[in-house]
Structure 1
Amino acid sequence: MPIKWNEEDKVFHLYNHRVSYFIQLVHGKYPAHLYWGRRVSSLQPASILSYKKRAFSPMTEPSDPSFSLDTLPQEYPAFGNGDFRTPAYQLRTKDGSTITEFIYDSHKIIQGKPPLKGLPAAYVEDSTEADTLVLTLVDSMLGIGLHLQYTIYRDLDVITRSALFEHLGSEEVEIHHCMSMSVDFHHANWDWLHLHGTWARERHIERQPVHRGIQSISSSRGASSHQHNPFIALLSKNATEEYGDVYGISLVYSGNFQASIEASPFDTTRLSIGINPFDFIWLLKPGETFQTPEALMVYSSKGLGGMSRTFHTLLRTRVCRGIHRDKPRPVLLNNWESTRFHFSEKKIKEMADAASELGIKLFVLDDGWFGNRDNDKSSLGDWQVDQKKLPHGLKGIAEYMQKKGMQFGLWVEPEMISPDSHLYRKHPDWCLHVPGRKRTLSRNQLILDLTRKEVCDWLVETLTSLFESAPISYVKWDMNRNMTEVRSGVLPPERQKETAHRYMLNLYQILEILTNRFPHILFESCSGGGGRFDPGMLYYMPQTWTSDNTDAVERLKIQYGTSMVYPAITMGAHVSDVPNHQVGRVTPMKMRCHVAMAANLGFELNVEKLTKEDKRTVMEELQFYYQIQDLVWYGDMYRLLSPFEGTDTAWMYVASNQERAVVFYYKTLAIPNPPFFRLPLRGLNPSWLYRINHGEKKFYGDELMKMGLTMPLIKSDFFSKTFFLQAVH
């Protein structure tokens, strides 16, 4: 069993073949963090924890003047009884006090991984895949139990953590702060990395040194957001793509979050992630529990690439669920950038005719098919077909697609409501709002109040009827604004700061019902592109529209940054028209295809107006994509050249058995009189011979990895090339 309990030293050891995580109960009651990193057989706690009386660090144990919680590396620290650093949690009692003291009470070790009630989380398919430690701490004065749950996977360098508060006392308390995990490192010589951005520039990479004090990222928008992804990493100073220690943390949550790093004057570092405490209070009454979202913790001794490949495997196989998790995803055509709101049944059929000739397998009807939706000013909430545009309804158009050998998909934005809609006129109180105050619009819409049971019931019933009305095999679930006037129409005043989290819990419940009710539908999450690209949504929808920005050059940065955590199979990527709608850039069809092919390929352009040359390119690249899509989706990704560091970008995907690989190379701007350039590859078997692009020449894997693959001399901007490698035995 990969969790050991040493009764004599009061030490827990969570381990697998590559990773160890040690916890000690100091003085038999304070869970202290000893070590997390590369596998070690055992530790001597006395050699890890050193004690010294520090000025202004209160003595927690009077019998031991050298001991203070202010200097102890803790597993789930509090504030107010000796530790002045960032706490993992804070409770407020009825008398206004925020002082707690949770002391070790008991523990249990479980084979497998229990699910989290009401929340998405990583899972196991067999109980032998993982083991779980539940540490129970108790504040006897409040009568509250705190259950810290740790799960370690046997074959993945992953530990998951969460916390459950259980009220066994007699007086209600408020939870003001509750991180999903906190871990104290024994030095502060780190860099930290996060993914920042905005709409159309999501998940750009930023790496910087850890400085003294607190540095953090967060969202208070009601969604994980375009601005910051719920992911943060600590890196050793020498860490690169393939070398050095990296500790990556991702939160399985789609709402407001905070991740923070605090470096102390004594060169220790505290890392935590969880629900954003800003504008959050949860009233916990006797007999109730509160569960934090789950944190996914990945350690890599092989740099950022090793961390990413672990996250990719975990998210693809043990967070994403359903029949589509391991099934081929059809190449799609979405009509949005071609038609916007202005289309007819005839136009859609003509687009489908042209798409089927190219080999596209799925047609997605985007915004504008319902109500009186001729622009973005009306009809959200009125999920009835616009008979003027589609006289034969969704069923008629879907059946037409089937005759063409294509599947049919549909865009919806279920969480929203337009003030100009039948639903709003009937139920003006169904949106998030504050009575007597203005209702702030974004994209001319408001957000449904999912804290109301009648709204959730209506939504499930309405979408069930819609999804049953036609042979729909794909749904793009959009959310095009963030929360304002965050107030529930049904919660009492003392629970109003629960609104944002209750919204998310009820959204998860709606998605659980619908994805179970319609397992054949492939759901894709969207929030103005990548505004809710997080593990929480992937639990219900195994792919996400990566960004509304479809420009091939901009997408290099977006997809490269996204790959830090998320596998290619989860990224929706489309080939669109030029000049590009977002930046006006004109790039060749081949480069647009090659960028989108490095993820989940789709098209979003007027296929009827393609030139003969572009049609030929699309058909050739589609034929190639169908040969290598399994490599892209299920292979190990290696990032070779970063678009954040120059005009060249490259990445590759290698089959798990190393028999095949595909390399994508992109150059955005040509230079005069260029030097010769060789691109070193990674992940190949060094002793095997590989044939490239079905050529006659053969190259050993070690030659390709150490000396590299010769790149062509390039005399044009926006150049791209692919290389297919096949092992020869």
Structure 2
Amino acid sequence: MVRRQSHRHRARRRGLLDPQRRRLAPAGEVTLAPGENWTAPDAIFAVSTTGRNGAASAFHEAVRARLQWPDGAMRPRPVHLNSWEACYFDHDEERIVALAEAAASVGVERFILDDGWFRNRDDDTAGLGDWTPDPRKYPNGLKPLADRVNALGMEFGLWVEPEMINPDSDLYRAHPDWALSLPGRASPTARNQLVLDLRREDVRDYLFGCLDRLLTELPITYLKWDHNRDLAPAGGAAQLRGVYALLARVRSSHPGVEVESCAGGGGRNDAGMADFCHRYWTSDNIDAVSRIGIQRGFLSFLPPEVMGSHIAASPAHATGRRHSLAFRAAMAMTGHLGVEMDPRTLSDTERAELADWISFHKQWRDLLHQGRVWQGESSDGVLWQAQGREDELLLFVIRAEPPADRRPQPVTLPFCGKSGAWGVRLLRIAGGEGGHAAHSAPFFKATKSTPQSLPASWLSNAGLPLPPSKAETVSIFHMRKRA
């Protein structure tokens, strides 16, 4: 059961009724005068009789009901390549075209040009607010690049951070009063930037003009909308309403454009953004082991088709850890797949492997997206996650640490029910390369070629037998219900 409520509250406590104390505290605390009302933000909460998986399913359906897809329905989620970790701010047209060609060669369907494309943006100290292409990097603007991306068979997407401004920008020099500030207080920067006052209509009009010009002049199908610092001062609820108003105006004027909610990684992964956005950037940490907990937490509330999950480089930029390409790819399969690296840095064998994983995702994404998600834990540190329909799904069995037991214990799958049987096929064991080969049983060899029939009650109570696996391994099964 899901409830969405908006409450109106009347101040009762004596201290809150004193008109002389009426104020808006920096943290957003509101003091009401006698007779005044305050409307709380919408909240979604779930009550489940089937545990956390039931609650997650209810949350997913509530969020899906808010999503406003172009043309009214979700299409297969295009595989992304995002330029950020491939080149950071080091742009030039020739380099980006080569990156786009490499993306197309491995099966990428949408190319996103991240931060660094606009005027004077050589690092994070300047340029925010001046949303025009840098002529040093793109002498003819972004149109030739966007057209080249389209000619390669990919859609073109663009990174923006409209709510922010660098003091070193033409916009700030012209309108320093447009930044959020408190009278008589200093305005410290974070990440070398300030926050624009979206409570002001003139600020929203300026930003809409910039975005509208880009979306009109360029074949953009996707905006990665970022937000890379805390709101300090907060600006209150009016600031967020201003953001919503700007997003609504952009979506109304350009209904075919999808928007990604990004905020310092996963800082704005909330249901309110689902009214305007179609994807959430889960975290700037793309380390495959770190992503186990990050993505499982995300899926407790938000559905998999809006979870940005990228195949990162090795070593991971956020942690410096190295993981096999297979493990990195398998961990990214469960969301909206993307690539966050330069394929040109891979060997021919690795590029072929990356292309194979992208093809694998395309084969199964209709099952992985828009269905149910079940999560659970087994013994010896094994985690599992199933995604799909009540009668067909993919099961991901994840082992991050080395096993303590040479023979893994079966994993019980309560969602399998009590009646009938399931056909189980082992599609892939990703990761765990090197070292001594683990002994396997004939059953697992059989499941690689032909689905094996197992009683539902057995899977629910005794569990699915698992093949031997090493650290940083994902075993992927296809399961289909039989009568």
TM-score by length of 2: 0.88
Q: 1:691 to 1:713 in 2, by over 3 A?
A: closer
Equivalent of 1:690 in 403, 423, 433: 423
Instruction: Between 409-418 and 385-394, report the one with greater CA deviation.
Output: 385-394
Q: Is the 8 A contact 1:92 1:175 kept in 2?
A: no
Aligned with 2:362: secondary structure?
A: helix
Establish whether residue 627 from structure 1 lines up as the match of residue 375 from structure 2.
no
Corresponding position of 1:281 = 30
Establish whether residue 651 from structure 1 lines up as the match of residue 400 from structure 2.
no
Corresponding position of 2:223 = 475
Q: 1:528 to 1:590 in 2, by over 3 A?
A: same
Establish whether residue 443 from structure 1 lines up as the match of residue 191 from structure 2.
yes
After superposition, give the CA deviation of every residue in 1:437-468 in whole Å (9 maximum; x if it has no partner). Answer: 43201111111111222111111112111211
Give distance in 2, aligned partners of 1:319 and 1:92: 37
Corresponding position of 1:466 = 214
Give distance in 1, aligned partners of 2:481 and 2:107: 29
Establish whether residue 429 from structure 1 lines up as the match of residue 429 from structure 2.
no
Corresponding position of 2:474 = 720
Q: Which amino acid aligns with 2:276?
A: Y
Q: Is the 8 A contact 1:308 1:563 kept in 2?
A: yes
- What is the CA distance between 1:485 and its match in structure 2? 4.0
After superposition, give the CA deviation of every residue in 1:363-387 in whole Å (9 maximum; x if it has no partner). Answer: 0000000011011110000000012
Corresponding position of 2:68 = 321
Q: 1:428 to 1:691 in 2, by over 3 A?
A: same
Give distance in 1, aligned partners of 2:219 and 2:31: 42
Q: Is the 8 A contact 1:654 1:683 kept in 2?
A: no
Task: Flag the structure with higher helix content.
Answer: 2
Q: Is the 8 A contact 1:479 1:528 kept in 2?
A: yes
Give distance in 2, aligned partners of 1:357 and 1:728: 39
Give distance in 1, aligned partners of 2:231 and 2:422: 55
Q: 1:505 to 1:630 in 2, by over 3 A?
A: same
Give distance in 1, aligned partners of 2:242 and 2:477: 46
Corresponding position of 2:298 = 562
Task: Structure 2: state its 5+ residue gaps.
Answer: 427-448
Corresponding position of 2:392 = 660
Equivalent of 2:463 in 708, 719, 723: 708
Equivalent of 2:43 in 261, 286, 295: 295
Q: Is the 8 A contact 1:680 1:707 kept in 2?
A: yes
Give distance in 2, aligned partners of 1:551 and 1:689: 34
Corresponding position of 1:510 = 246
- What is the CA distance between 1:556 and its match in structure 2? 0.4
Superposition pairs of residues 42-81 of structure 1, within 5 angstroms? 79-80=12-13
Give distance in 2, aligned partners of 1:369 and 1:549: 23
Give distance in 2, aligned partners of 1:511 and 1:568: 23
Give distance in 1, aligned partners of 2:32 and 2:148: 53
Instruction: Between 413-422 and 297-306, report the one with greater CA deviation.
Output: 297-306
Superposition pairs of residues 459-608 of structure 1, within 5 angstroms? 459-486=207-234, 499-608=235-344
Corresponding position of 1:92 = 17
Q: 1:330 to 1:682 in 2, by over 3 A?
A: farther
Q: Which amino acid aligns with 1:557?
A: G
Give distance in 2, aligned partners of 1:311 and 1:356: 35
Establish whether residue 312 from structure 1 lines up as the match of residue 31 from structure 2.
no
Give distance in 1, aligned partners of 2:258 and 2:335: 16
Q: 1:682 to 1:599 in 2, by over 3 A?
A: farther
Give distance in 1, aligned partners of 2:311 and 2:47: 35
TM-score by length of 1: 0.59
Corresponding position of 1:368 = 116
Q: Is the 8 A contact 2:16 2:32 kept in 1?
A: no
Establish whether residue 339 from structure 1 lines up as the match of residue 264 from structure 2.
no
Q: Is the 8 A contact 2:11 2:17 kept in 1?
A: no
- What is the CA distance between 1:672 and its match in structure 2? 5.7
Give distance in 2, aligned partners of 1:583 and 1:532: 22
Give distance in 2, aligned partners of 1:397 and 1:603: 19
- Which one scores higher on RCO, CA 8 angstroms, separation ≥ 6? 2
Q: Which amino acid aligns with 1:319?
A: R
Give distance in 2, aligned partners of 1:707 and 1:359: 40
Give distance in 1, aligned partners of 2:272 and 2:457: 40
Q: 1:451 to 1:689 in 2, by over 3 A?
A: closer
Give distance in 1, aligned partners of 2:103 and 2:123: 26
Corresponding position of 2:410 = 678
Q: Is the 8 A contact 1:380 1:416 kept in 2?
A: yes
- What is the CA distance between 1:692 and its match in structure 2? 1.5
Q: 1:463 to 1:696 in 2, by over 3 A?
A: closer
Q: Is the 8 A contact 1:440 1:485 kept in 2?
A: no
Corresponding position of 1:456 = 204
Q: Which amino acid aligns with 2:406?
A: P
Corresponding position of 2:130 = 382
Give distance in 2, aligned partners of 1:689 and 1:375: 54
Q: Is the 8 A contact 1:325 1:542 kept in 2?
A: no
Corresponding position of 2:442 = none
Q: Is the 8 A contact 1:175 1:284 kept in 2?
A: no
Aligned-pair Cα RMSD in Å: 2.8
Equivalent of 2:454 in 699, 704, 721: 699
- What is the CA distance between 1:679 and its match in structure 2? 1.3
Larger radius of gyration: 1
Q: Is the 8 A contact 1:650 1:663 kept in 2?
A: yes
Q: 1:394 to 1:443 in 2, by over 3 A?
A: same
Task: Flag the structure with higher strand content.
Answer: 1
- What is the CA distance between 1:607 and its match in structure 2? 0.6
Q: Which amino acid aligns with 2:416?
A: L
- What is the CA distance between 1:340 and its match in structure 2? 0.5
Corresponding position of 2:433 = none
Q: 1:627 to 1:705 in 2, by over 3 A?
A: farther
After the TM superposition, list the runs of 4 or more consecutive aligned residues in structure 1 that deviate by more than 6 angstroms: 75-78, 282-286
Superposition pairs of residues 4-83 of structure 1, within 5 angstroms? 79-80=12-13
Q: Is the 8 A contact 1:475 1:521 kept in 2?
A: yes
Q: Is the 8 A contact 1:639 1:650 kept in 2?
A: yes
Q: Is the 8 A contact 2:11 2:34 kept in 1?
A: no
Q: 1:353 to 1:417 in 2, by over 3 A?
A: same
Q: Is the 8 A contact 2:66 2:275 kept in 1?
A: yes
Give distance in 2, aligned partners of 1:626 and 1:615: 17
Corresponding position of 1:71 = none
- What is the CA distance between 1:400 and its match in structure 2? 0.6
Aligned residues: 457
Identity over aligned residues, as a percent?
A: 33
